[in-house]
Amino acid sequence: MGLLLPDQHSTVLSANSTPWRPGTPWRVHEGARRRCYPARVSHDRYGHDVLSAPRAPRRPAAVAVAAEPGLVVEDVETGWVGAVLRVETSGGMRVVVLEDRRGRTRTFPLGPGFWVDGRPVILAAPAPTPRRIPRVTASGSVAVPEQRARVARASRIWVEGRHDAELVERIWGDDLRVEGVVVELLDGVDNLAAVLRAFSPGPIRRAGVLVDHLVPGSKESRLVAEALRHVGAEDVLVLGHPYVDVWQAVKPARVGLERWPDIPHGTDIKIGTLAALGWPHSDQADIASGWKRILGRVRDYRDLEPALLGRMEELIDFVTAVPE
């Protein structure tokens, strides 16, 4: 039987013993029941073996970072520090061009091997900027973004009837609002002379007129010539298309035809066209409904015949080419 002194790691208690006094060893008796209480041990970064080497610190994991222009990075291998100028392709590989504070540039392969703010990163090409496709108006012009309708010009454009005006609005409405051009109705070319006299065109007050069926020898051509005798021709431009009605300026394929039907002389062009299409055509309501169906199939300038497109574009240029 031996002696066991208390120390900092454990305490031995003997059953049925008297309290221990400082300087007095514990006597361990046969059959004594012992309980040991381990002392608290503080964290030891070297482990239980005092001769073992310290653990290596854990390196942070590299994260992917977009090589956006202006990003300051360090090349780990060379120590070169610079701001990203651009990412490009050189020799079949993607590289990043860096510029240091003295304005010198160097090129490095894109990928791992860089530090940003003391952390490892993998440089990646920045996401491509989506190319903004400009909106195009129905006439094929580039739309002016968020452009409000401007104050109307003094110059005007006249068309023969309501259907002509609605077709012009469908294709050129956005352009005319940007230019401040108002489109008005003649209600028939017979009224052209009276309209021009009342308007009194001049150098900064031009009149453009679109006439149906303006072909040599037609009634329309004679009425136009008579009207122009009483006004300054340099301030008025009258143009026309060869179609008897503006309906025929819409490509026939839009309503399922190879060509517009030939309507016998003496038959109303609109009623005859609706009858040939097999659409209702008994009264004015049927005519209005039929035109609405035709106009609804016109999407943009590609659905109109060039003979109308060119004349309308020329009229818009004429009335907008003068100072205000």
- 138: Cβ contacts below 8 Å, ≥ 6 apart: 170, 171, 172, 173, 174, 299, 300, 301
User: Residue 10: what pLDDT?
Assistant: 42
Examine the domain organization and report whether 197 and 314 are in the same domain: yes
Examine the domain organization and report whether 169 and 312 are in the same domain: yes
Q: Assign 55 to helix, strand or coil.
A: coil
Examine the domain organization and report whether 192 and 112 are in the same domain: no
The span from the CA of 175 to the CA of 108, in Å, is 50
Quote the number of domains for the chain.
Answer: 3
Examine the domain organization and report whether 304 and 217 are in the same domain: yes
Examine the domain organization and report whether 166 and 310 are in the same domain: yes
Domain finish residue from 124, 144, 169: 124
Examine the domain organization and report whether 241 and 303 are in the same domain: yes
Full domain range(s) for residue 1: 1-35
Examine the domain organization and report whether 98 and 225 are in the same domain: no
Evaluate whether 83 touches 68 at the Cβ level (below 8 Å): no
Write the pLDDT tens digit of every residue in 259-293. 999 998 889 999 999 999 999 999 999 999 999 99
Residue 26 in any domain: the answer is: yes
Low-confidence ranges of the chain (pLDDT < 70): 1-57, 146-149, 324
User: Residue 47: what pLDDT?
Assistant: 52
What pTM was computed for the model?
0.63
Write the pLDDT tens digit of every residue in 71-119. 999 999 999 999 999 999 988 899 999 999 999 999 999 999 999 998 9
Q: What are the beta bridge partners of residue 14?
A: 34
Residue 138 in any domain: the answer is: no
Examine the domain organization and report whether 315 and 195 are in the same domain: yes
The span from the CA of 306 to the CA of 240, in Å, is 12
